[in-house]
Chain A
């Protein structure tokens, strides 16, 4: 039950893009068409879902004082986390290249950009500061990734439509994307305070 709660909370209530504004660079850069956004979104779900549990294991068994080495190595956290993320992204890149060359071409340079997607590292850092356990961090990773996926699909769809609208020239493209994201963020504020745990408990 806890698993589903954290998943739903991470995907909707605490959406990484629209509530915390993490992972904006690739979110803005790759959201011009729904098709590429879809591919990148899937890749983010995968990378987040895999890296969070791995980073949890590293943090608990290697870095913490009660870990294998018995000393507090948490100051090396950034380096190890980012190394795990970078290798996972490399793995995804190889998989995508093998099974879907067209998607690989479409995503182009943005796949390596997942490494520097703040949402991925941010997820791992949130996991540490919120003291999640193993299954919590898996749920948070998958839920957070799913939320990111939804957000990028939504903005891409809006941006495809808005191309046909008469936006003032200096605001066209990037400027409009920022304002749209701000509006979507405000809309997502209405979800704050929803506590899935309380909903299920009431049943």
Chain B
């Protein structure tokens, strides 16, 4: 497998390890030090819209990882042929086609999730992470490395997305991936007090009544704000000095 990938790009003169320290850094850096959401402030829109439940967030993360990875790969392959003056449009065409692939694939594989994500699938195109990485990295680096960078940034994005979704789903609905976790179980809950845990054993903290604020999109803003606070308390070099 590894040999095939090396053979594909004979231009590499000195044989670098396929997955060396540089690649590892590209993959791990976006998870914390250079996280797309909390540090680079890219790709916020979809982070807020789909994160009220964990399941759609996971699908969204996978879709974004796919699009960042492959758009970086294709852009990097074409980087010497793309005319400078139309490079943005060329990049957008690549991204938009990959997103169309995601849309068609979702329609084919899981229609209910497709309906749930609706316009937000299309909005992956304008997810600034994708475009940002193409401009900043893929246009100037070799395909394999660009691909790893794209995957890394997709992972960093997905990690935050799922983290926010976990917080919001547990406190907003009392469930995790649809299974009752905290709060009263279905039978005990009255509909006038809004949501009940949907299924399962949900009576661990039966006194807990769901926090409706967490279900609103605004809650995602608070959760991200607090995440940034925590991250920067640990990682002092990220503090905004301006």
Contacts and interface: CB of A to CB of B under 8 A. Distances in A.
Contacts of B218: 182-183, 185-186, 189
Interface in A6-58: 19-25, 28-29, 32
A154 interface: no
Nearest to A172: B240
Contact of B92 (A76, A82, A170, A179): A82
Chief secondary structure at chain A's binding surface: helix
Given A115-B126, A121-B125, A178-B225, 12 more contacts: A21-B49, A25-B44, A78-B103, A83-B89, A115-B131, A116-B128, A122-B45, A171-B225, A171-B232, A174-B228, A178-B221, A185-B218
Interface in A156-172: 168-172
A129 B118 CA distance: 9
Contacts of B100: 75-76, 78-79
Interface string A88-119: 00000000000000000000000011011110
B216 interface: yes
B165 interface: no
Interface of B: 38, 41-46, 48-49, 88-89, 92-93, 95-97, 99-100, 103-104, 118-119, 122-123, 125-128, 131, 216-222, 224-226, 228-233, 236, 239-240, 242
A113 B49 CA distance: 20
Interface of A: 19-25, 28-29, 32, 75-79, 82-83, 86-87, 112-113, 115-118, 120-122, 125-126, 129, 168-176, 178-179, 181-183, 185-186, 189
Nearest to B238: A170
Contacts of B45: 21-25, 118, 122
Nearest to A79: B96
Contacts of A189: 216, 218
B136 to A, nearest CB: 11
Nearest to A168: B229
Contacts of A118: 45-46, 123, 126-127
